[in-house]
């Protein structure tokens, strides 16, 4: 049974029943939870061990969609995801906003005083920095590829803890020693649903994402952004990453309010062409609902 149109943030006709969806695994990651929120609880997924692997699976046609983390409200952007957008000609089909509630997990019978090492993804360790400093100031912190991978390791290791979510605790049979340990309690992560195709539907609230490359000269970034001001386009987010085309050249990731088919945004993009070396629209898609 698939999610109903009331819960699925895209038109049902735009997602085939046989869609194959890749995500940053293993099973039980927050990315897995984001997949279920977007596509429905019964949507199967293919867990992959890295963000580049998810992009590669979608780009090659092995999978129809992929789900990857983009940005955390307290720790900032997932730079590996941004870099992958620069390397693959893929679209952002949609986005998911997921409230992140971290727990400290351990094998059954483990007490808080038994913990000698704590495993988690580097973003999660950062999101729990103050809690860890207060409760486990001298305990070794070990970076894992994902929270679920940390939980899987801890299920096999005594004297270890993992920072992960409730789903991981259930899947890997771990006890929850502490809940809601994130330093910022409205901690939220935004995920992108990527695809080889653009989202063809229109929505009440939309946003668009672009990559803009500029020349390495004074005023280049100002010239690239001025068209948005001239045509009253609201910029939500701006972030730079090395373009990897030549030393000290950068690409700028821009989120804007609205759809790229809107007259004012089309006018801004037309003006942009005369200022920027190149730009690419990653997608126009519905704004994710917060939890």
Q: At residue 45, does pLDDT exceed 90?
A: yes
pLDDT for the residue 213? 87
Task: Decide if 203 is catalytic.
Answer: no
Query: Does residue 265 sit in the same domain as residue 146?
Result: no
Spatial separation of the C-alpha atoms in residues 42 and 289, rounded to whole Å: 20
Q: At residue 22, does pLDDT exceed 90?
A: yes
Query: Does residue 126 sit in the same domain as residue 270?
Result: no
Query: Does residue 38 sit in the same domain as residue 151?
Result: no
Q: At residue 175, does pLDDT exceed 90?
A: yes
Spatial separation of the C-alpha atoms in residues 121 and 125, rounded to whole Å: 6
pLDDT for the residue 190? 95
Residue 5 covered by a domain: no
pLDDT for the residue 223? 87
Residue 201 covered by a domain: no
For the stretch 213-243, pLDDT in tens is 887 788 888 888 999 999 999 999 999 888 7
**Confidence bin at 11 (pLDDT 50/70/90):** very low
pLDDT for the residue 291? 57
- Residue indicated by tokens 């129809």: 64
Query: Does residue 73 sit in the same domain as residue 109?
Result: no
Task: Decide if 222 is catalytic.
Answer: no
Among residues 39, 93, 191, 228, the one annotated as catalytic is: 191
Query: Does residue 22 sit in the same domain as residue 45?
Result: yes
For the stretch 251-273, pLDDT in tens is 899 999 999 999 999 999 999 98
Query: Does residue 136 sit in the same domain as residue 275?
Result: no
Residue 78 covered by a domain: yes
Full residue range of the structural domain in which residue 131 is found: 103-179
Angle, alpha carbons 132-138-142 (nearest 5°): 70
Task: Report the number of distinct structural domains present in the chain.
Answer: 3
Residue 210 covered by a domain: yes
pLDDT for the residue 277? 67
Structural element, H or E, at residue 12: none
- Residue at a domain's end among 195, 229, 245: 195
> What CATH number does the domain containing 80 carry?
3.40.190.10
* Whole-structure pTM value: 0.81
Query: Does residue 94 sit in the same domain as residue 107?
Result: no
- Residue at a domain's end among 170, 195, 220: 195
pLDDT for the residue 220? 83
The percent of residues in the chain predicted with pLDDT above 90, rounded, is: 65
Among residues 29, 31, 81, 189, the one annotated as catalytic is: 189
Query: Does residue 271 sit in the same domain as residue 231?
Result: yes
């Amino acid at each position: 049974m698939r999610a109903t149109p009331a819960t699925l943030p895209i038109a049902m006709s735009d997602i085939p029943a046989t869609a194959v969806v890749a995500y940053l695994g293993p099973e039980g990651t927050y990315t897995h939870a984001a997949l279920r929120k977007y596509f429905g609880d019964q949507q199967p997924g293919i867990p992959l061990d890295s963000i580049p692997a998810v992009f590669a699976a979608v780009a090659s046609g092995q999978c129809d969609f992929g789900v990857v983390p983009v940005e955390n409200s307290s720790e900032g952007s997932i730079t590996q995801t941004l870099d992958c957008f620069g390397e693959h000609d893929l679209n952002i089909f949609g986005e998911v906003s997921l409230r992140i509630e971290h727990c400290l997990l351990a094998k059954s019978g483990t007490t808080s005083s038994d913990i000698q090492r704590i495993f988690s993804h580097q973003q999660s360790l950062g999101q729990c920095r103050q809690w860890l400093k207060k409760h486990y100031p001298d305990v070794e912190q070990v970076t894992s590829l994902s929270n679920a991978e940390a939980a899987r390791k801890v299920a096999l290791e005594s004297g270890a803890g993992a920072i992960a979510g409730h789903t991981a605790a259930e899947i890997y049979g771990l006890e929850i020693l502490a809940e809601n340990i994130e330093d910022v309690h409205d901690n939220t992560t935004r995920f992108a649903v990527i695809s080889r195709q653009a989202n063809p539907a229109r929505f009440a609230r939309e946003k668009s994402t672009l990559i803009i490359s500029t020349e390495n000269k004074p005023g280049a970034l100002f010239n690239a952004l001025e068209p948005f001001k001239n045509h009253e386009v609201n910029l939500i987010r701006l972030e730079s990453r090395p373009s990897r085309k030549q030393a000290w050249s950068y690409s700028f990731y821009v989120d804007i309010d609205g759809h790229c088919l809107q007259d004012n945004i089309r006018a801004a993009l037309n003006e942009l062409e005369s200022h920027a070396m190149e730009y690419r629209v990653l997608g126009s898609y519905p704004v994710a609902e917060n939890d």
